[in-house]
Amino acid sequence: MVHKQITSYFIEHYKTTPTLIKAPGRINIIGEHTDYNEGLVLPASIEKGIYFAVSGNDQNSIQIETFLTQPEKIIFQLNGEHQKFESFWGNYFKAIIEILVAKNYPLKGMDCVFGGDIPIGSGLSSSAALCCGFIYALTKVSGKEISREEIALIAQEAEHKIGLNCGLMDQYAVLFGKKGNAFFLDCKDLSHTYIPINLEGYSWVLVNSNIKHNLAVDSEYNKRRVSCENIVKEVQKYKPEITSLRDVTLEDLEQVTAVANAIDIKRANYIIEENNRVRKMIKVLSDGDANAVGAVLKEGHWAMSTQYEITTNELDALVKIGESLDGVLGSRMMGGGFGGCTINLVKTEELDTSITSLLDQYKEQTGIDAEYYHLAIDDGVKVFE
């Protein structure tokens, strides 16, 4: 177990028993690309995560090291100076420390060893776990509480500082997740509520297509955002109170069809229907209707494929193969698009045969070896006992 390795490494090198903090990764059950349109999302925090072993020190410095990815140690002085570092994660911690210093947060010296079992780059939001877990660790050592809402904003600001213009869904899912529940978040006012996942006898599985996000992703992502904004501008001409696609209806869309770009209409149509799929998913999850859950997943995938056009042939193949297997109730691509993973709802008793068959057929069709991960829905950031 990763957390045991981290704890024993800490005790051996720092001669004290640390506090262990766990920050989970997250999945998104449904609600893709709705967040920047002030829409609805339904993520959940998972068992896989990043663990931080931490303890206060009296050296006026924050020492952070990892021995699991690229072994490296960084020392930040509390006055803001630090040594040069090689690894990407150093930039996140540097940004967080700078933000807290600017807010006059009373930082204290801290020793920290971290590592985890979230597969990096698989769409499980390892960066949000890294940032939220580290900020939470700093507050535990400094003894000055910050609300979880505030931690989410600081983590988001750190990502923006590094150049990733993310919404707040990932941070909220990582901070507020609850075992056995999906987390319904309204991105317009950040109101949220828990939705029990009543699916006994079924398992969530992530299948990594092993198609790396290509370099076009950022420009394609921006094009999608612009399409959404274009439609909002058209609707505003006769409904000036509208500020985002969140409040645009399919009837509004019909009204502007003659004047708006056809591709923009198609993109906006996807977002409006995706918000409705989130509402539908909440109902069928609460009812424990596994077949209906699977149907919403599939509907969401093919809408991303044909309307929003952010999937790939390989991801479409994974979903199509799943549709031919009795044990797979439904699946869809998860995340920004153009690569990454599918999330799948599978009958637990047919799990091994279904996944083996899925991976074999995928390899046959694409020549690519996919990987899979079991997903268990777990709590948000917490002190890990």
Q: What radius of gyration, in Å, describes the C-alpha atoms of the chain? A: 22
Q: Across 31-180, where does the E strand assignment appear?
A: 40-56, 61-66, 72-77, 110-116
Indicate the length of the chain as a whole number. 385
Q: How far apart are CA 351 and CA 112, in angstroms?
A: 38
CA-closest candidate to residue 248, choices 221, 281, 272: 272
Specify the 3-state DSSP secondary structure of 51. strand
DSSP string, 329-367: EEEEEESSSSSSEEEEEEEGGGHHHHHHHHHHHHHHHHS
CA-closest candidate to residue 165, choices 225, 99, 120, 113: 225
Residue 170 a catalytic site member: yes
50, 115 Cβ separation under 8 angstroms: yes
Which of 58, 111, 117, 170 is the catalytic position? 170
Q: How far apart are CA 82 and CA 62, in angstroms?
A: 9
Task: Name the DSSP class of 15.
Answer: S
Q: How far apart are CA 129 and CA 135, in angstroms?
A: 10
Specify the 3-state DSSP secondary structure of 373. strand
DSSP string, 165-204: ---SHHHHHHHH--TTEEEEEETTT--EEEEE---TTEEE
Tokens of 309: 């056009």
Residues with active-site annotation? 170
